[in-house]
Amino acid sequence: MGGESRVKSQESRVKSLKSEMPEQPVIDMRRLHRFFGSTRAVNDISFEVMKGEVFGYIGPNGAGKTTSMRILATLDIPTYGDALVDGFSVINDPDRVRRRLGFMPDYFGTYADVNCREYLDFFARAYGLRGNERRRALAHVMGFTKLDGLAEKPIRGLSKGMKQRLCLGRSMIHDPSVLILDEPAAGLDPRARIELRQMIRELADNGKTILVSSHILTELAEMCDRVGIIERGELLAVGTVAEIQRGQITHCQIKARVLENVAAVATWLENRGDVESIRVDGQLIRFSHVGESDAQAALLREMILAEFAIAEFGIEQRSLEDVFMHVTRGVVQ
Ligand SMILES: Nc1ncnc2c1ncn2[C@@H]1O[C@H](COP(=O)(O)OP(=O)(O)O)[C@@H](O)[C@H]1O
Ligand SMILES: [Mg+2]
């Protein structure tokens, strides 16, 4: 008996230790870059998404959303940087990443003569689901996406909303813990959009982690816990929709000009918890800072106290609120 209770108390210690440990992000974009020739489609993007969170990825056309999502879905590889899913790298462990995530692309493959059940069944087999397991997965997904009544309907006869549901169904057939949804609401009528929003929320409430993109902030505002605003390959703002609407952005791009020892300043910045994505270009150091104006003032004070030769320090010209307005108008680059 004594042994058993010792084991029990050890177990509860392990449990309490676990609950004290900082949670590992399910999606961890780490300084992701993807260049196509001279096009910097993704230019140093870092952010994290925690379990059960819906993270909205918002930016105008050509911002780099699809490129970064495709890298996360292991369909492309980064020029630099990495992306991790449950701690597994898309570069070093693509198989483990693939098993954990479902990707819904922004276009729908053409399988006009196949019906909904056959389509889902094909993907279930491709994921190695067999027998009862496959039947259960199919029934679950068709129920969840309300495709039960459409099982025998050929894809060519589906409305845009039905196709989107089918495509969502396909991306979740292997019960992944992460869903990457690229512009799922594009072209949907208001009713289909509301249904999609409800499905995404329900998935997140059941513990799925979701990255969803759009070029229209308002389209995602109600379903997202946090959003990131991306433009020209750079993440300009991250926060809750309310924070972004109030202009209280949790990340800010800062540019500093340093007259000497630029490398030492960069190393000093790298060691701080509130600074990310440092880039050095001659005397200029650009970085992303997590915090509001008072924290930026404190950072500048510390840099001066450290006796760095700071000649300029400021938020990059582009106002984040302007970016927000620009993005919400869906301006095409
Ligand atoms: N395979 C490719 N070859 C060359 N350029 C590409 C390729 N894929 C994307 N791009 C370019 O990268 C940029 C980002 O594109 P994309 O990620 O599709 O943006 P978004 O999904 O935000 O609209 C665009 O300028 C696009 O033209
Ligand atoms: Mg896209």
Pocket test for ligand 1, best of 33, 39, 45 (most atoms within 8 A of CB): 39
User: What local confidence, expressed as pLDDT, does residue 36 receive?
Assistant: 97
Q: Indicate whether 241 pLDDT > 90.
A: no
pLDDT digits (tens, 9 = 90+) for 94-114: 999 999 999 999 987 767 789
CA distance 109 to 22: 40
* Range name among 56-65, 89-98, 290-299 with the lowest pLDDT average: 290-299
DSSP 76-118: S--SEEEEEETTEETTT-HHHHHHHEEEE-SS----TTSBHHH
Instruction: For helices 131-144 and 116-126, give the axis angle rounded to 10 degrees.
Output: 130
Higher per-residue confidence, 289 vs 96:
96
Q: What is the chain's alpha carbon radius of gyration, rounded to the nearest angstrom?
A: 23
**85 CB-near residues (< 8 Å, 6+ apart):** 26, 27, 28, 72, 96, 97, 100, 101, 178
Q: Is 11 helix (H, G, I), strand (E, B) or coil?
A: helix
Q: What torsion do the CA atoms of 75, 77, 83, 85 make, to the nearest 10 degrees?
A: 30
58 close to ligand 1 (CB < 6 Angstrom) = no
CA distance 65 to 215: 9
Give the position of tokens 């959003």.
227
- pTM value is 0.74
Q: Return the CATH class of domain 27-238.
A: alpha beta
pLDDT digits (tens, 9 = 90+) for 161-216: 999 999 999 999 999 999 999 999 988 888 899 999 999 999 999 999 999 999 87
66 close to ligand 1 (CB < 6 Angstrom) = yes
Considering only CA atoms, which residue is closest to atom 26 of ligand 1? 62
CA distance 66 to 42: 10
Atom of ligand 1 nearest to the CA of 59: 22
Pocket test for ligand 1, best of 36, 72, 216, 326 (most atoms within 8 A of CB): 36
Q: How many Cα atoms are found within 13 Å in the side-chain-facing hemisphere of 146?
A: 10
**117 CB-near residues (< 8 Å, 6+ apart):** 138, 142, 151, 152
Tell me the mean pLDDT in the region 136-163: 93
**What CATH number is given for 247-325 in this structure?**
3.30.70
CA distance 272 to 299: 10
Considering only CA atoms, which residue is closest to atom 25 of ligand 1? 62
Atom of ligand 1 nearest to the CA of 70: 17
Tell me the mean pLDDT in the region 132-146: 96
Question: Sign of dihedral through CA atoms 46, 57, 286, 296?
Answer: negative
Q: Where are the domains of the chain?
A: 27-238, 247-325
Q: Indicate whether 326 pLDDT > 70.
A: no
Atom of ligand 1 nearest to the CA of 34: 12
Q: What torsion do the CA atoms of 73, 78, 84, 88 make, to the nearest 10 degrees?
A: 90
- In terms of Cβ atoms closer than 10 Å to its own Cβ (0-12, 13-18, 19+), residue 63 is buried
Measured in Å, residue 218 CA sits from the centre of ligand 2 at 17
326 close to ligand 1 (CB < 6 Angstrom) = no
Q: How far is CA 259 from the centre of its chain?
A: 37
DSSP 170-231: HHTTT--SEEEESSTTTT--HHHHHHHHHHHHHHHHTT-EEEEEES-HHHHHTT-SEEEEEE
**289 CB-near residues (< 8 Å, 6+ apart):** 251, 252, 253, 254, 274, 275, 276, 295, 296, 299
* Range name among 24-28, 42-46, 313-317 with the lowest pLDDT average: 313-317
Ligand (nearest to CA of 105): 2
Measured in Å, residue 102 CA sits from the centre of ligand 1 at 21
User: What local confidence, expressed as pLDDT, does residue 317 receive?
Assistant: 46
